[in-house]
Structure 1
Amino acid sequence: MAKRIRKSSTLLALGSLALGAGTAHAVNVRRAVVSRVAPVYPELARRMHIGGRVVLLVSVDANGNVSSTKVESGHALLAPAAEEAVKRWHFAPNPEPTVSEIDVNFDMDSQ
């Protein structure tokens, strides 16, 4: 019986942590971009003729500053440049933090 109670209380504590650990974010809310920084095309990717799209999951605080980025998809040589650029973007203020998917395109023809 003691093991069952201990296991139940541990599960309850873990469940409470999981529910309360995150902050409230509105997901996939389109916020106006106030200022945008173009990514620097990585030289190795350019020489290898690698282009394409990098999809980032971007967390933006209420003031419009990017608080974090996470690569959802895209070429490994392009992803760091996309993250570096988007971290310097600024979005319109919003009453609460938001999380959105942002596409960054690397087009060899425009380079």
Structure 2
Amino acid sequence: MALSRRSLSSLFLIAVLTACSTMALAGTHRAIVSKVAPVYPELAKRMHVSGIVVVLLTVAPDGSVSDAKIESGHALLGNAAQDAVRRWRFEPASETTSMTVDVSFANQ
């Protein structure tokens, strides 16, 4: 069954928002203030590549993401996930926090 570009974007956004709730925090919870959904790479769509990309984040005291490194996931999806989470914002805290985030790419 072929899905339209709009349907794929909607499925992808739902998958990302669901996956973003699974964060492992180092003893502290920092709520997400704003998220940017990753852009599903066109080549990955055409090749029907899907999966989870695990990104290790470093969140600065002001809530901005100061570093994001791909821990695992398909090479075609990694950069899109990394680029998106670099633009996320978290609630401010007194110190830098490290966490991992799972970003799902579902292509049906």
What is the TM-score normalised by the length of structure 2? 0.74
CA–CA separation in structure 1 for the residues paired with 2:80 and 2:28: 24
Paired position in structure 1 for 2:69: 70
Paired position in structure 2 for 1:51: 50
CA–CA separation in structure 2 for the residues paired with 1:28 and 1:47: 40
Q: How many residues align?
A: 84
Q: Is the 8 A contact 1:49 1:108 kept in 2?
A: yes
Once the two structures are superposed, the pairs formed by residues 1-111 of structure 1 within 5 Å of their partners are 27=26, 29-109=28-108
The alignment's C-alpha RMSD in Å is 1.4
Please state whether the residue corresponding to 1:67 is helix, strand or coil: strand
CA–CA separation in structure 2 for the residues paired with 1:73 and 1:49: 18
CA–CA separation in structure 2 for the residues paired with 1:58 and 1:83: 9
Structure 2, gaps ≥5 residues long: 1-24
Please state whether the residue corresponding to 1:83 is helix, strand or coil: helix
User: What is the percentage of aligned positions where both structures have the same residue?
Assistant: 54
| Partner AA of 1:71 in structure 2 | I
Q: Is the 8 A contact 1:28 1:99 kept in 2?
A: no
| Partner AA of 2:75 in structure 1 | A
What is the TM-score normalised by the length of structure 1? 0.72
CA–CA separation in structure 1 for the residues paired with 2:102 and 2:31: 14
Structure 1 residue 27: deviation in Å?
A: 3.2
What per-residue deviation string (whole Å, max 9, x for no partner) do you get for residues 20-55 of structure 1? Answer: xxxxxx836431100000000000000000011000
Q: Is the 8 A contact 1:29 1:100 kept in 2?
A: no
Give 4+ residue runs of structure 1 displaced > 4 Å after superposition.
none
